[in-house]
Structure 1
Amino acid sequence: MATTSTATGSRALFRALVDPEWRPDDGTGLTASLRRRVHAVAARAQMFDPTTPDALRAVETVSLERLSVSRERALGVAASSAGDDQVVNKALLDLAPFTLTTGFALANLTGPWNAEQPYALAALRILAADVGHGQPLSSRADSYLEILRRRRLIDAGAHLQQTAADARICEGAFALPAALMLMARFPESCAGFLLGATLYLRSVGLLPVYLALGDEAGDLRGPVLDLGRDPRSGGPGPREAAVEAVREFVAAYPSRGAEVSAGYLWCRAGVETLHDRALNVLERWADPAEAVIDLFRRRRREAAVYHDGSALGGKTLQHFFAPGADPADLLEQLAASRYVKPGNPDRSPLVNGLISTRGGMFRIFSTEDVAVLRRWILALPNGSRGGGEHREGLRDGPRDGSALWADDPLVPAVAGEPVGDPARLGIREAYRSLLHRETGAAEHAYAVRYAADWLARAAQGLSRCPLPAAWEPAVLAPWLQEQHERQDAAFQAGSDSLTEERLKDDSLGLAPLVLIDGAWLIGFTSPDLATSVVGYPLFNTYWDELGNGVIAENHPRIYRDLIDSMVPAIAETGSAGFAHDPRLSDGNFALPVFWLSIGRLPRTHQPEILGLNLAMELSGVGGGYRSTRQALKRFGYSTLFVDLHNTIDNIATGHSAWAAAGIDAFMTDLPGPARAAAWERVRTGFVALNPPPLTRKQQLSLTFRRKASAR
Structure 2
Amino acid sequence: MVLVITKEKEAVLTHADLCSRLINFESDVDCLLSTAQCLVADMHKACPALPEQFTNWRAIDELLESARLFCESGQLPDQLHLDRQESLRILAQYAPMGLLTGCVLQNVANPANGHTLLAAQAHAAHALLVGAGMHSHNPAVQFRLMLEQLGIFLPALGSSRFEASTAIPLNCWRLPAYWLSLSLFPEQYPGEILGAAFCEALYGTPLMVLEAQQQAAPNLPALEEKKRRLQDALPHLRDATQTLLKQDADGRVRKCFATGFITSASLLREWEKRCLEDWHLGRQQPQRAMVELVRNKARFARGYHNKLKLAGRVFDDLIVQDAQCFVQELGQSRWVSPGQPEKSLLVTRLLAFGGPMFRIFTEQEETVIRDWIRQLPHSSDAAALATDAVDTDPGNVPLVIVESTVSAPITCVRELYHQLLNLEQYPQIRNSATAFCNSWLARSAQGIHKDDNALPFSVYSHQALRAWFEARAATQVQSYAEHGGDNEKSREDVIDEALQLCPMILIDGAWLRRWSNAGLVETPFGALLYKILSDEIGNGDCALNHPNIYRSLMEDMGIHLPNFRSREFVHFSRFNQTAFEVPAFWLSVSLFPQKYMPETLGLNLAMELSGVGGAYRSARDELRRHGFSTLFVDLHNTIDNVSSGHSAMALEAIELWIDPYLRSNDQQQLSKAWLRIWTGYRALSVPTRSWREWLHPVRYPY
| TM-score relative to the length of structure 1 | 0.88
Q: Which amino acid aligns with 1:333?
A: E
**What corresponds to 2:637 in structure 1?**
646
Given candidates 226, 244, 262, the residue that maps to 2:259 is 262
**What corresponds to 2:471 in structure 1?**
482
Range that drifts further, 159-168 or 567-576: 159-168
1:455 to 1:319, Cα distance in 2 relative to 1, 3 A: closer
1:428 to 1:12, Cα distance in 2 relative to 1, 3 A: same
**What corresponds to 2:37 in structure 1?**
31
Q: In structure 1, what is the Cα distance between the partners aligned to 2:175 and 2:356?
A: 42
Q: Give the CA deviation at 1:311.
A: 2.5
Matching of residues 660-679 of structure 1 within 5 Å: 660-670=651-661, 671-672=664-665, 673=667, 674-679=669-674
Query: Is 1:450–2:444 an aligned residue pair?
Result: no
Given candidates 315, 318, 341, the residue that maps to 1:317 is 315
Contact 1:611 1:686 (8 Å CA) reproduced:
yes
Query: Is 1:224–2:219 an aligned residue pair?
Result: no
**What corresponds to 1:132 in structure 2?**
131
**What corresponds to 1:215 in structure 2?**
215
Q: Deviations over 1:134-183 (max 9, x none)?
A: 12243111211122112211135687544333122112111111121122
Matching of residues 457-496 of structure 1 within 5 Å: 457-462=443-448, 463=450, 464-465=452-453, 468-470=456-458, 471-492=460-481, 493-494=483-484, 495-496=486-487
Q: In structure 2, what is the Cα distance between the partners aligned to 1:50 and 1:172?
A: 34
1:92 to 1:197, Cα distance in 2 relative to 1, 3 A: same
Q: In structure 2, what is the Cα distance between the partners aligned to 1:668 and 1:169?
A: 31
Given candidates 328, 333, 352, the residue that maps to 1:332 is 328
Q: Which amino acid aligns with 1:9?
A: T
Query: Is 1:281–2:278 an aligned residue pair?
Result: yes
Q: Deviations over 1:206-240 (max 9, x none)?
A: 432323414235354764332xx327xxxx32111
Residue aligned with 1:353, SS: helix
Q: Give the CA deviation at 1:678.
A: 1.0
Contact 1:50 1:260 (8 Å CA) reproduced:
no
Contact 1:7 1:415 (8 Å CA) reproduced:
no
Contact 2:142 2:222 (8 Å CA) reproduced:
no
Query: Is 1:390–2:390 an aligned residue pair?
Result: no
1:98 to 1:339, Cα distance in 2 relative to 1, 3 A: same
Q: Which amino acid aligns with 1:67?
A: G
**What corresponds to 1:197 in structure 2?**
196
Q: Give the CA deviation at 1:705.
A: 9.3
Query: Is 1:625–2:616 an aligned residue pair?
Result: yes
Matching of residues 10-89 of structure 1 within 5 Å: 10-22=15-27, 23-25=29-31, 27=33, 31=37, 34-35=40-41, 37-41=43-47, 43=49, 45-46=51-52, 47-48=54-55, 52-68=59-75, 70-72=76-78, 75-76=79-80, 79=81, 81=82, 84-89=83-88
1:295 to 1:571, Cα distance in 2 relative to 1, 3 A: same
Structure 2, unaligned stretches of length 5 or more?
1-5
Q: Which amino acid aligns with 2:412?
A: G
Q: Deviations over 1:647-696 (max 9, x none)?
A: 00000000111111111112221033121111111111111111442122
**What corresponds to 1:407 in structure 2?**
394
Q: In structure 1, what is the Cα distance between the partners aligned to 2:423 and 2:48?
A: 27
Q: In structure 1, what is the Cα distance between the partners aligned to 2:626 and 2:646?
A: 29
Q: In structure 1, what is the Cα distance between the partners aligned to 2:118 and 2:575?
A: 29
Q: Give the CA deviation at 1:454.
A: 0.5
Q: Give the CA deviation at 1:91.
A: 0.5
Q: In structure 1, what is the Cα distance between the partners aligned to 2:426 and 2:296?
A: 40
Q: In structure 2, what is the Cα distance between the partners aligned to 1:171 and 1:53?
A: 37
**What corresponds to 1:369 in structure 2?**
365
| TM-score relative to the length of structure 2 | 0.89
Q: In structure 2, what is the Cα distance between the partners aligned to 1:419 and 1:242?
A: 41
Q: Give the CA deviation at 1:127.
A: 2.1
Query: Is 1:271–2:268 an aligned residue pair?
Result: yes
Identity over the aligned pairs, expressed in percent? Answer: 29
**What corresponds to 1:709 in structure 2?**
none
**What corresponds to 2:152 in structure 1?**
153
Q: Which amino acid aligns with 1:332?
A: Q
Contact 2:419 2:426 (8 Å CA) reproduced:
no
1:176 to 1:602, Cα distance in 2 relative to 1, 3 A: same
Residue aligned with 1:209, SS: helix
Q: Give the CA deviation at 1:319.
A: 5.8
Contact 1:111 1:437 (8 Å CA) reproduced:
no
Contact 2:104 2:183 (8 Å CA) reproduced:
yes
1:55 to 1:664, Cα distance in 2 relative to 1, 3 A: same
Q: In structure 1, what is the Cα distance between the partners aligned to 2:10 and 2:153?
A: 27
1:422 to 1:180, Cα distance in 2 relative to 1, 3 A: farther
Contact 1:418 1:441 (8 Å CA) reproduced:
no
Q: In structure 2, what is the Cα distance between the partners aligned to 1:159 and 1:21?
A: 12
Contact 1:26 1:441 (8 Å CA) reproduced:
no
Q: Deviations over 1:415-452 (max 9, x none)?
A: 47747335435221211111245365631111111111
Q: In structure 2, what is the Cα distance between the partners aligned to 1:308 and 1:50?
A: 70
Given candidates 504, 520, 524, the residue that maps to 2:511 is 520
Q: Which amino acid aligns with 2:435?
A: R
**What corresponds to 1:384 in structure 2?**
none
Structure 1, unaligned stretches of length 5 or more?
381-386, 707-711
Q: Deviations over 1:90-127 (max 9, x none)?
A: 10111111211122212222211111112212222222
Q: In structure 1, what is the Cα distance between the partners aligned to 2:541 and 2:247?
A: 17
Q: In structure 2, what is the Cα distance between the partners aligned to 1:486 and 1:34?
A: 53
Q: Give the CA deviation at 1:630.
A: 1.1
Q: In structure 1, what is the Cα distance between the partners aligned to 2:570 and 2:578?
A: 12
**What corresponds to 1:98 in structure 2?**
97
Q: Give the CA deviation at 1:637.
A: 1.4
**What corresponds to 2:589 in structure 1?**
598
Given candidates 540, 546, 560, the residue that maps to 2:531 is 540
1:211 to 1:24, Cα distance in 2 relative to 1, 3 A: farther
Q: Which amino acid aligns with 2:245?
A: V
Query: Is 1:113–2:112 an aligned residue pair?
Result: yes
Q: Deviations over 1:509-550 (max 9, x none)?
A: 111101111111112112332221222211111111111111
Residue aligned with 1:8, SS: strand
Q: In structure 2, what is the Cα distance between the partners aligned to 1:589 and 1:20?
A: 26
Contact 1:175 1:407 (8 Å CA) reproduced:
no
Q: Give the CA deviation at 1:308.
A: 4.8
Q: In structure 2, what is the Cα distance between the partners aligned to 1:16 and 1:620?
A: 38
Residue aligned with 1:365, SS: coil
Contact 1:195 1:263 (8 Å CA) reproduced:
yes
1:302 to 1:270, Cα distance in 2 relative to 1, 3 A: same
**What corresponds to 1:299 in structure 2?**
297
Q: In structure 2, what is the Cα distance between the partners aligned to 1:167 and 1:365?
A: 14
Q: In structure 2, what is the Cα distance between the partners aligned to 1:56 and 1:303?
A: 56
